[in-house]
């Protein structure tokens, strides 16, 4: 195999191991001596960390998880990996977060590392995504739904601002990862909420299922 292929493989492997660093699990053990996967929504992600560990530890987890996505793309580019390998490194980081080898492949949903991947590729999405998140959060009091809708802006940013068909396809495919992983949780919350309206629009930020 050529050196370019080996560099691409190394970038993807590095992306997976960066993504698989269990930030929420480590924070849970350090802050409260708990396994974050056994409390709250039982998800090893930033939002469950905020609710279960507190604002500061939770935001620290969020920043670390976003950085995993950014770093996977950045290192791939620094290594001189081809574009396809850089894309795959970002995908590997999201999958590493969701299926970490260190914890029996039981991790989070991949939302925060995906944010990092999108931020690296399309920084113009930061103010637009944050604006959508803020507006949705104001009306729904549902952080997870709000940032999920904010993420949907990235395929349009790829198309309208960057004019990159490969970015459009990549971002659409990447959005499927957290969506598919989140389906069981959506069903659980819908069952507990009683109806779709209460599922989507909460009374306040502490209203959880």
Q: Quick: pLDDT tens for 85-114.
A: 999 999 999 999 999 999 999 999 999 999
Q: Which pLDDT does position 61 carry in this prediction? A: 97
* H-helix or E-strand spanning residue 45: none
Instruction: Give residue limits of the domains in the chain.
Output: 1-107, 122-209
Q: Which pLDDT does position 18 carry in this prediction? A: 97
Q: Which pLDDT does position 201 carry in this prediction? A: 86
Q: Which pLDDT does position 203 carry in this prediction? A: 84
Q: Which pLDDT does position 208 carry in this prediction? A: 78
Report the largest interatomic distance among the alpha carbons of the chain, rounded to a whole angstrom. 58
What is the spatial distance between Cα 133 and Cα 180, in angstroms, rounded to a whole number?
21
How far is the CA of 166 from the CAs of 4, 100, 129, 163, in angstroms?
Answer: 20, 28, 20, 9
Reported as a single tens digit per residue, the pLDDT across 162-176 is 999 999 999 999 999
How far is the CA of 65 from the CAs of 8, 27, 141, in angstroms?
Answer: 22, 12, 23
Q: Could you say which residues of the chain have pLDDT below 50?
A: none
Q: Which pLDDT does position 74 carry in this prediction? A: 96
């Amino acid at each position: 195999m050529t050196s370019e292929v080996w560099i691409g493989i190394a970038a993807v492997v590095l992306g997976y191991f960066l993504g698989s660093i269990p930030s929420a699990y480590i924070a849970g053990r350090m802050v409260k001596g708990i396994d974050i996967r056994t409390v709250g929504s039982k998800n090893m992600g930033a939002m469950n960390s905020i609710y279960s560990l507190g604002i500061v530890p939770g935001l620290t987890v969020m920043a670390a998880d976003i950085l995993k996505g950014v770093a996977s793309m950045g290192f791939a580019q620094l290594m001189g990996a081809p574009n396809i390998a850089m894309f795959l490194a970002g995908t590997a980081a999201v999958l590493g977060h969701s299926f970490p080898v260190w914890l029996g492949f039981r991790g989070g949903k991949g939302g925060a590392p995906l944010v990092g991947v999108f931020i690296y590729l399309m920084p113009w999405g930061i103010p637009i995504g944050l604006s959508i998140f803020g507006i949705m959060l104001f009306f729904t009091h549902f952080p997870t739904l709000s940032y999920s809708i904010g993420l949907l802006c990235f395929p349009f940013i790829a198309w309208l601002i960057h004019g990159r068909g490969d970015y459009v396809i990549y971002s659409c495919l990447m959005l499927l990862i957290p969506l598919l992983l989140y389906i069981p949780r959506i069903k659980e919350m819908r069952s507990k909420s009683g109806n779709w309206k209460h599922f989507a629009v909460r009374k306040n930020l502490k209203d959880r299922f």
